[in-house]
Structure 1
Amino acid sequence: MENKINRQTEKRKMDKLLEEQYAAETKILESALLKAAGKTSWEEFPEEPEEKVQREYDRLVARLKAKGEYREAVADIRTERLEETKEHLKNYENEWNRTHRFLKPVAAVVAAVMLTALAGMTVSADLQFEDETVQTCDTSFSEEK
C-alpha cells in the first residue's frame, strides 16, 4: 500500500514538473514567434474579419486537395480511433473468454473441495461428540398467580 502511495506521489511530482517545463517552453516559443514577426505582444496583430479568414482557409484546402496532400483529418481520425477501439474491445473479449474458460473449472473444483471439507468436518464433529449427551436447559417459565 505504501509503495502504491509513493508511486502516486512520484507521478504527481513528475506531472507538476512536466507542466512547469511545458509552460516555460511555451513562453520561449511564443516569444521567439513574436520576435520573428517583429511584435512584442499578440495584441499588436491586426484583427482579421471572419470572412477573410474563411476564404484563405478554403484556398489552402483547395490547393492541398489539388496536390493530393489534403485528407479529411477529422473523418480519418474518427475512423482510426473507431478501428482501434474495436480492436481493443476484441482483445479484451478474447482475454475475458480465455480467463473465463480457465476460471469455470477452477471454481467447480474449489466448490467441490469446500463441500468435501464441510462434510468431513461435520462427520468428524459427530464422531467426536456422539457419546456425550447434550444437556438441555429448561426454558419454560412457571406461571405465577
Structure 2
Amino acid sequence: MQRKRGPRNHGELVAWQLCAHLRRLVWEATREGPAKGDRRYCDQIRSAARTACYLTSEGFYRTREGDFLNCLVMAHAALAETDDYLDHGLGKQYIASLAHGAMKEAAARASSANRRLRDSLRSQWMAQQEAKRKACRRL
C-alpha cells in the first residue's frame, strides 16, 4: 500500500484553490458594471479576497511551528471580510443576485476548507505534543 503524501506546493492545497476561485469571481464581478464606479469598494473587496490567498500560500511555506496555523486563522478572517463586502455589494446593487449567490457559495466553501485544514494542523500539532510528553516521561 502506498503511503499518502502531503501537498508539495501551496497550489495543491484545496483551501488555496478555493480561495483563488473566489478571488477570480470577485475580480470578474468588480471589473465591469456598477461596482466599477466605486473604486474604494472594488479595492477593498479585491484586497480581502487576495489576502486570503496570500496568507494561505505564505503559511504553507512557513517553517516555524504554528506559523501555518496562524496564517490560516488570518486567511479565515480575510474570507469573512470578503463575505461581508459581498453582502454590502448586493445591498448597493453593485453585484447581481446570481453572481452574489455564486460568490457567497465560493466564500463558504473556501472558509470550510480553511477550517478543515486548521483542524487537521491542530490535530497533528496536538499529537506531536503528546508524543513529546510521552518521550519525556520515559527518560
Task: Return the TM-score normalized by structure 2.
Answer: 0.28
Larger RCO, structures 1/2 (Cα 8 Å, 6+ apart): 2
Give the structure with the larger helix fraction: 2
Name which one, 1 or 2, has greater alpha-carbon Rg. 1
Task: Return the TM-score normalized by structure 1.
Answer: 0.27
